[in-house]
Chains A and B, each alone.
Chain A
Amino acid sequence: MFPYIPHTEEDIKFMLETLGMKDLEELFADIPKEVRMNRELDLDAPKSELEVQRLMKSLTDKNTSTDEMICFLGAGAYDHYIPSVVKHVTGRGEFYTAYTPYQAEISQGTLQVIFEFQTMIANLTGMDLSNASMYDGSTATAEAAAMAADATRRKEILISETVHPETREVLDTYAHFNGLQIKTVPMADGVTDVEQLKGMVSKETAGVIIQTPNFFGIIEEVEEVEKLIHEVKGLLIMNVDPMSLGILKSPGELGADIVVGEGHAMGNPMSYGGPYLGFMAATTKLMRKMPGRIAGQTTDHDGNVGYVLTLQTREQHIRREKATSNICSNQALNALAALVYMSILGKKGMKAVAEQSYRKAHHTMEKLEAIGYKKVYDKPFFKEFLVEAPKDPADINKTLLEQGILGGYEVGKHYPDLKNGLLFCVTEKRTLDEIDLLVKGLEVAK
């Protein structure tokens, strides 16, 4: 007997009799013999809940979580605080055991959640509209590139070298298959080299992708980029950290056409890299080019306000090969977590978290400079910064780990010129004592 299969032996017997069958085998008699399995699956025997819990405990015992280490690692996955209320909402079976809201009358909960998520993402980014979410920040960026190409009928995408290396790798993969031409805009002094960009934009350019704060935590100067790309009637695609938008000028104000980003830090645990959520916002002009689900407000025959999935003629289940994207399932539950996070923090809280992260990161950097870890770039940054390690950064991280500290990201993997670069991240969660421990650890390590 299995806890999730309710059939008694008697039930099975009765149902087979009803069907005029003598055994379960008859249900599978239509399967050609040569493709029937002639043995049992080679998997473990079933386990009780208690045994499964023990097994999982034995696995988690082999991991060291960020509860046991002080985390100064970021680079795309961030240790921000998650208010308790988030999991109590996402843990409601009414939310997490529902499917995509295709039957609107009994899915008003999910549909209104999407509508409110769209509202807050649009407002945070300063854009006209948002969709219901994408798989993650990297695929959202690749989708934005395809969307820009579709909207401009051009094939060339420029992407800054300061965009997260994994995002650029994902874009390269997508582009190899969908026929986009990707050119990388080199960086200079830790930011996008606008002089080089000037020579690269042309009437062939569908869009330029800028990440800000960029991979090194530096806030990019977007104004010049915006002018250059709009002069050639291409689109400005901005990849942003939503946690920075409590204090930074919104992409909408900066003239972005499409805004994407990784939203996990709003209420979702790091969970070894997933599930996260990508978000995508855009101008009204691009509404019908958006991939993915969008909820809209409407009324029923009695005039009651309700929500439905709308503009569905963009989507694969209606348009099949003519759809704007193949995306179907997105990251709805992660988007719900992000929505609850934005609701509970609100306009003041998003600002406060951003300010505290900013201050703690700057405080940390000053302390590191004082003990001889030079900052690599002297540019405005948010919560991450790059320092030059006095020796192999891997050795330094090893020493830190021995003291229970999860150190910085070794950027040399992706930027050979920065082989001693260590990218540290400091969120509002870190205390001044923890920062002192990092400083001590780095002193010992150097």
Chain B
Amino acid sequence: MNNYNKLLCDISKPGRTGYRLPPDELENIAVEDGIPAGMLRKDEPALPEVNEVDVIRHFLNLSQKNFAIDKGFYPLGSCTMKYNPKINEDMAALPGFANLHPYQPEHTAQGALELLFELEEMLVEITGMERVTLQPAAGAHGEMTGLMIMKAYHESRDDHKRTKIIVPDSAHGTNPASAQVVGFDVVEIKSNKDGDVDLESLKAALSDEVAGLMLTNPSTLGLYEQNIVEVAKLVHEAGGLLYYDGANANAILGISRPGDMGFDVVHLNLHKTMTTPHGGGGPGSGPVGVKKHLVPFLPKPMIDKKEDNTYYLNYDLPQSIGRIRAFYGNFGINVRAYTYMKTMGAEGLKKVSQMAVLNANYLMHHLKNFYRLPIDRVCKHEFVLAGLGKSELHVSTMDVAKRLLDYGFHPPTVYFPLIVPEALMIEPTETESLETLDSFIEAMAAIAKEAEENPEMLKSAPHVTPVGRLDEVKAARNPVLKCASMGGEN
């Protein structure tokens, strides 16, 4: 059997080719005549020489070593791994979208601008904000943008003392990292025993040095923040702003809006909530919405409408934080999100959240019989288990996760949020059927039983994957970051 485990650099063969260009009619023009020798490369770049057949077989075989939503259930908490509708891909690939140059005249791109304008309007309605920028490339980029806007707002009021951002201990890692990148100091506050923000801890952290609070609601525990109204009041009274991390927006579409909760800034992850694919780690899209008092600070350009109903890129934004990337955002991803929102409509989007929450509660109801549920109250789109809760078995959450691979499921998010020991964070999403949920419950129950009867089975898992548990220590200690046989120039 042919071995398709090789790297392209190892199957490369001099003289083999995978491309064909039209004949070069200008061979009389010599590159050497126009570019001094010192600027030209002497050797060809060390890239492979392979045939198109090699390339297709290589990547197709590689693809099959991946788990993916198209293959099966992917209950990865906080990531909203729902089905990515195929029509979204087709629409983004339409030549009338895919083959637009970002600098072509606005009157030749009115359809693109109209789509972006309308997508902004839809996101404004869903979030309850005044305006939305579609530029951020991902959630963390959105966080960075939102925090820049908050800082610019305080600066515009000559309020230069506000150097701190409050982040709950349950927050995503990007929250503190984004705050740091924007030049804030991070103050962490505790969650209370119900998983909500601890109000006393918040009060103690608030001062005239606080620029704002970053909050995820529902929280990373999958719980709707019970104190949200009070939290917003306290932060605003202290002169701070509220930032909404939209990672968990799949629970609240048409149910509860960040704007109404009191948030001043919000980002959404269109690659979570609006079904644009995760792509193996991107590209995403992380639009940022703001209330009226923050609109002047949005990044350049915004898409606006003229009196004659044509659309244009508006750069005349004197108080804007500036540009946060080249061009106008991940347009192709925004086309996919627009397609999805038009497909679902108001009724469909609300149903999304209802079914996502129903699925999560159904799973939680059953799984708490086999695993420890630290906070037992109605959850939203996800919930967090604290492992098996039987330390005497010496079976870890990682062992459970790896064993799930053998049962054909992607494991939940593990060891996050940090405040729950042995955390298993489970988000089924609305696109999974009752039958799928039941089979997952069965697998989780079987694993819990195995933990009692045959713990070695879990500790040595996975057993059926292309590779076993990989040595991460070795990878980090002695980093091999590229193919050795084609290393460097040749």
Q: Which residues of A contact B349 (CB under 8 A)?
A: 41, 43
Tell me whether A356 and B100 are in contact (CB under 8 A).
no
B17 CB within 8 Å of chain A:
yes
Tell me whether B355 and A332 are in contact (CB under 8 A).
no
Tell me whether A345 and B19 are in contact (CB under 8 A).
yes
Residue in contact with B281 in the complex, picked from A122, A320, A330, A356, CB distance below 8 Å: A330
User: Once the chains are docked, how many angstroms separate the CA of A347 from the CA of B82?
Assistant: 39
Q: Which of A324-363 contact B (CB under 8 A)?
A: 325-334, 336, 340, 342-353, 355-356, 358-360, 362-363
Q: Which residues of B contact A126 (CB under 8 A)?
A: 45, 488-489
Residue in contact with A52 in the complex, picked from B40, B91, B108, CB distance below 8 Å: B91
Q: Which residues of B contact A269 (CB under 8 A)?
A: 98-99, 332
A59 CB within 8 Å of chain B:
yes
Tell me whether A334 and B283 are in contact (CB under 8 A).
yes
Chain A to chain B: the 3 pairs with minimum beta-carbon distance, closest first? A60-B96, A273-B327, A93-B70
Q: Which of B103-128 contact A (CB under 8 A)?
A: 103-105, 108-112, 114-115, 122, 125-126
Q: Which residues of B contact A250 (CB under 8 A)?
A: 41, 45, 489
Tell me whether B481 and A118 are in contact (CB under 8 A).
yes
Q: Give the shortest distance, in Å, between B54 (CB) and chain A (any CB).
A: 8
User: Once the chains are docked, how many angstroms separate the CA of A107 from the CA of B81?
Assistant: 15
Tell me whether A406 and B350 are in contact (CB under 8 A).
no
Tell me whether B469 and A300 are in contact (CB under 8 A).
yes
Tell me whether B39 and A109 are in contact (CB under 8 A).
no
If A98-B280, A328-B138, A358-B31 touch, whether A65 touches B96 (CB-CB below 8 Å) is yes
B143 CB within 8 Å of chain A:
yes
Tell me whether B405 and A103 are in contact (CB under 8 A).
yes
A323 CB within 8 Å of chain B:
yes
Q: Give the shortest distance, in Å, between A420 (CB) and chain B (any CB).
A: 18
Tell me whether B109 and A116 are in contact (CB under 8 A).
no
Residue in contact with A47 in the complex, picked from B91, B345, B434, CB distance below 8 Å: B345
Q: Which of A165-182 contact B (CB under 8 A)?
A: 166-167, 169-170, 172-173, 176-179
B1 CB within 8 Å of chain A:
no
Tell me whether A270 and B102 are in contact (CB under 8 A).
yes
Q: Which residues of A contact B433 (CB under 8 A)?
A: 6-7, 11
Q: Which residues of B contact A359 (CB under 8 A)?
A: 24, 26-27, 29, 31
Q: Which residues of A contact B434 (CB under 8 A)?
A: 6-7, 11, 14-15
Tell me whether B31 and A28 are in contact (CB under 8 A).
no
Tell me whether A360 and B26 are in contact (CB under 8 A).
yes
Tell me whether A262 and B140 are in contact (CB under 8 A).
no
Q: Which residues of A contact B9 (CB under 8 A)?
A: 116, 119
A148 CB within 8 Å of chain B:
no
One digit per residue, 1 when the CB lies within 8 angstroms of any chain A CB and 0 when it does not, for chain B 74-111 equals 10100101111101011111111111111111001111
Tell me whether A272 and B112 are in contact (CB under 8 A).
yes
One digit per residue, 1 when the CB lies within 8 angstroms of any chain B CB and 0 when it does not, for chain A 20-58 equals 000010111111101111001111111101001101111
Q: Which residues of B contact A340 (CB under 8 A)?
A: 55, 59
Tell me whether A67 and B39 are in contact (CB under 8 A).
no
Q: Which residues of A contact B285 (CB under 8 A)?
A: 275
B393 CB within 8 Å of chain A:
no
Tell me whether A107 and B345 are in contact (CB under 8 A).
no
B307 CB within 8 Å of chain A:
no
Tell me whether B96 and A63 are in contact (CB under 8 A).
yes
One digit per residue, 1 when the CB lies within 8 angstroms of any chain B CB and 0 when it does not, for chain A 308-327 equals 10111101111111110111
B378 CB within 8 Å of chain A:
yes
User: Once the chains are docked, how many angstroms separate the CA of A62 from the CA of B351?
Assistant: 32
Residue in contact with B137 in the complex, picked from A136, A295, A431, CB distance below 8 Å: A136
Tell me whether B472 and A310 are in contact (CB under 8 A).
yes
If A36-B255, A105-B405, A250-B489 touch, whether A63 touches B112 (CB-CB below 8 Å) is yes
Q: Which residues of A contact B361 (CB under 8 A)?
A: 19, 27
Q: Which residues of A contact B362 (CB under 8 A)?
A: 15, 18-19
Q: Which of B298-353 contact A (CB under 8 A)?
A: 299-300, 321-333, 339, 341-352
Tell me whether B358 and A35 are in contact (CB under 8 A).
no
User: Once the chains are docked, how many angstroms separate the CA of A311 from the CA of B110?
Assistant: 45
Q: Which of B271-288 contact A (CB under 8 A)?
A: 271, 275, 277-285
Task: List the one stretch of B201-209, B223-231, B444-452 in contact with chain A.
Answer: B223-231
Q: Which residues of A contact B324 (CB under 8 A)?
A: 139, 170, 173
B486 CB within 8 Å of chain A:
yes
Tell me whether A93 and B45 are in contact (CB under 8 A).
no
Tell me whether B224 and A31 are in contact (CB under 8 A).
yes
A145 CB within 8 Å of chain B:
no
Q: Which of B57-76 contact A (CB under 8 A)?
A: 58-60, 62-71, 74, 76
User: Once the chains are docked, how many angstroms separate the CA of A55 from the CA of B141?
Assistant: 30
**Interface residues of A toward B: which range?**
35 or more
User: Once the chains are docked, how many angstroms separate the CA of A44 from the CA of B432?
Assistant: 25
Query: Which residue of chain A lies nearest to B232 when distances are taken between CB atoms in the complex?
Result: A35
Q: Give the shortest distance, in Å, between A442 (CB) and chain B (any CB).
A: 17
User: Once the chains are docked, how many angstroms separate the CA of A254 from the CA of B79?
Assistant: 42
Query: Which residue of chain A lies nearest to B15 when distances are taken between CB atoms in the complex?
Result: A348
Q: Give the shortest distance, in Å, between B70 (CB) and chain A (any CB).
A: 3
Query: Which residue of chain B lies nearest to A94 when distances are taken between CB atoms in the complex?
Result: B63
Q: Give the shortest distance, in Å, between A296 (CB) and chain B (any CB).
A: 4
B8 CB within 8 Å of chain A:
yes
A415 CB within 8 Å of chain B:
no
Task: List the one stretch of A183-191, A199-207, A240-248 in contact with chain B.
Answer: A240-248
Tell me whether A96 and B279 are in contact (CB under 8 A).
yes
Residue in contact with B66 in the complex, picked from A62, A95, A301, A310, CB distance below 8 Å: A95
Tell me whether B277 and A316 are in contact (CB under 8 A).
no
A428 CB within 8 Å of chain B:
yes
Tell me whether A409 and B103 are in contact (CB under 8 A).
yes
Q: Give the shortest distance, in Å, between B384 (CB) and chain A (any CB).
A: 16
Known: A122-B482, A129-B481. 20 other contacts (CB 8 A): A2-B351, A4-B83, A6-B433, A26-B378, A65-B100, A76-B102, A96-B279, A110-B66, A123-B46, A124-B47, A253-B489, A271-B98, A274-B329, A293-B281, A297-B480, A299-B474, A306-B470, A358-B29, A380-B34, A406-B101
User: Once the chains are docked, how many angstroms separate the CA of A99 from the CA of B139?
Assistant: 14
Q: Give the shortest distance, in Å, between B185 (CB) and chain A (any CB).
A: 8
Residue in contact with A319 in the complex, picked from B45, B48, B177, CB distance below 8 Å: B177
Tell me whether B332 and A98 are in contact (CB under 8 A).
no
If A40-B346, A46-B343 touch, whether A273 touches B45 (CB-CB below 8 Å) is no
A100 CB within 8 Å of chain B:
yes
Q: Which residues of B contact A330 (CB under 8 A)?
A: 138, 281-283
If A5-B431, A45-B346, A332-B281 touch, whether A30 touches B224 (CB-CB below 8 Å) is yes
Q: Which residues of B contact A12 (CB under 8 A)?
A: 355, 358
Q: Give the shortest distance, in Å, between B281 (CB) and chain A (any CB).
A: 4
Tell me whether A308 and B475 are in contact (CB under 8 A).
yes
B289 CB within 8 Å of chain A:
no
If A46-B347, A273-B102, A401-B105 touch, whether A343 touches B50 (CB-CB below 8 Å) is yes
User: Once the chains are docked, how many angstroms separate the CA of A245 from the CA of B325?
Assistant: 24
If A109-B62, A113-B62, A294-B481 touch, whether A27 touches B358 (CB-CB below 8 Å) is yes
Tell me whether A35 and B260 are in contact (CB under 8 A).
yes
Query: Which residue of chain A lies nearest to B47 when distances are taken between CB atoms in the complex?
Result: A347
Q: Which residues of B contact A343 (CB under 8 A)?
A: 8, 18, 47-48, 50, 55, 58
If A98-B66, A343-B55, A346-B18 touch, whether A336 touches B280 (CB-CB below 8 Å) is yes
If A173-B323, A316-B177 touch, whether A43 touches B341 (CB-CB below 8 Å) is yes
Tell me whether A401 and B40 are in contact (CB under 8 A).
no
One digit per residue, 1 when the CB lies within 8 angstroms of any chain B CB and 0 when it does not, for chain A 260-295 equals 001000000111111111000000000100000111
Tell me whether B345 and A348 are in contact (CB under 8 A).
no
Tell me whether A219 and B39 are in contact (CB under 8 A).
yes
